[in-house]
């Protein structure tokens, strides 16, 4: 059995696209998923499955949400090995930072530096980003809410054609724990 985390983008934010986590757990259990657990109210669920892969589970979950709740939501699914790799390969000193200063944006496909060529890195210092395997690490010393770099990274010219969802470092670490059976 493989353990996965499902990352649902943009639910329960600002009163829009309400999806109670208890209802999400029921929906996922109804799809035959094992050990379904949710984390926080912002769209993280952990589950086990004998069949399928990341892409097929993402598509199946997105369709099930649309059918049951009546709205479309982007879903990324990642297995424990991938989540562990993202945490282990952080290019910033995560242990020395407050969790609100470090974020990971997960993408549905690999991205290259060309996509970010129009961003003036030096003008946005001390904020920085680095690319990883289907992810981007964002160092925002004043937090995401005040980050000018985060705003640049989320512009349509950068994100066009991608599914992307961002999580703070606490959530990144917690998803590793939950998918390893420690959480």
The answer to whether 100 and 144 have CB atoms below 8 angstroms apart is: yes
Give the C-alpha separation, 75 to 92, whole Å: 26
Question: Which sign does the torsion angle of CA 36, 99, 81, 160 carry?
Answer: positive
CATH of the domain at 17: 3.30.70.1280
Number of domains in the chain: 2
Sheet (strand 164-168) strand order: 128-132, 135-139, 102-107, 164-168
The number of CA neighbours under 13 Å toward the Cβ of 168 is 14
| 70 and 122 part of one domain | no
CATH of the domain at 165: 3.30.70
Token pair, residue 159, equals 């994100």
Domain that holds residue 73: 2-82
Question: pTM for the whole thing?
Answer: 0.93
Q: Tens of pLDDT along the chain (183 residues)?
A: 999 999 998 786 666 778 888 999 999 999 999 999 998 877 899 999 999 999 999 999 999 999 999 999 999 999 999 999 999 999 999 989 998 999 999 999 999 999 999 899 899 999 999 999 999 999 999 999 889 999 999 888 888 999 999 999 999 999 999 999 765
| 92 and 115 part of one domain | yes
The answer to whether 179 and 3 have CB atoms below 8 angstroms apart is: yes
Give the C-alpha separation, 29 to 101, whole Å: 34
| 128 and 147 part of one domain | yes
């Amino acid at each position: 059995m493989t353990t996965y985390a499902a990352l649902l983008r943009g639910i329960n934010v600002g009163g829009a696209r309400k999806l109670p986590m208890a209802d999400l757990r029921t929906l996922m259990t109804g799809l035959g998923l094992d050990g379904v657990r949710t984390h926080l109210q912002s769209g993280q669920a952990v589950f086990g499955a004998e069949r399928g892969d990341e892409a097929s589970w993402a598509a199946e979950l997105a369709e099930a949400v649309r059918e049951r709740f009546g709205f479309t939501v982007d879903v990324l699914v990642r297995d424990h090995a991938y989540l562990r790799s993202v945490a282990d390969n952080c290019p910033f000193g995560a242990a020395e930072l407050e969790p609100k200063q470090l974020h990971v944006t997960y993408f549905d496909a690999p991205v290259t530096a060309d996509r970010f060529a129009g961003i003036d890195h030096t003008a946005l210092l001390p904020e920085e980003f680095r690319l990883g395997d289907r992810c981007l690490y964002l160092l925002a010393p004043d937090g995401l809410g005040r980050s000018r770099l985060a705003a640049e990274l989320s512009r349509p010219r950068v994100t066009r054609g991608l599914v992307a969802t961002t999580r703070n470092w606490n959530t990144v670490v917690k998803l590793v724990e939950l998918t390893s059976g420690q959480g």
